[in-house]
Structure 1
Amino acid sequence: MARKVIDTPSEDVVARAKKDRAAKRGPFAGIILFLKQVIAELKKVVTPTRKELWSYTAVVLVFVIFMMAIVYGLDQLFSWIVIFVFGTPGA
């Protein structure tokens, strides 16, 4: 199960952003501020454990196989309907 992490920006990041926004800045200051905030957010990222990763992978694979079965079934059904309505192919 994934660990619960509260996703709130830290006070120093918010204070720094407000201060930078209030001050006049050059053309590259916005980019630098953005990169600082990206780095601060990346520090909050929690990587899944090996068990969680295998679990997520299994769920995705089962879902994809299930959706493939549904699409295959619908394809077969529609091809049968087309052949029934328009006759056999090549005749």
Structure 2
Amino acid sequence: MFEFVSSHGISLADFGSAQRGLSAEHAISFVRMLQAHGFFPVGIEVWRRQGNAWRIDSTGGWFVDELDPEEAVSDAIIFLGEVYAAESTSFTVQF
């Protein structure tokens, strides 16, 4: 799983996050990968590119409100599909 994030994600270290940002497509694949390994997402942060920097969209995140793992996975995937996902948008997935 960490190899997937390393190879498909972009570093956000210079912008205050130790995580790597994924495109919506890769974030959905990662959430499904978590599910296949018995994990589930607990949060997703939305990062937007502004000029040469990435900024967290503090109003645009998702956090699990259901402890049922299957519902958390489906809610996360729905969220990722609904967020405007241009090239200037990236996602970090917490699990």
- Using the size of structure 1 for normalisation, the TM-score is 0.27
Which has the larger share of helix?
A: 1
Name the one with the larger strand percent. Answer: 2
Q: Larger Cα Rg: Structure 1 or Structure 2? A: 1
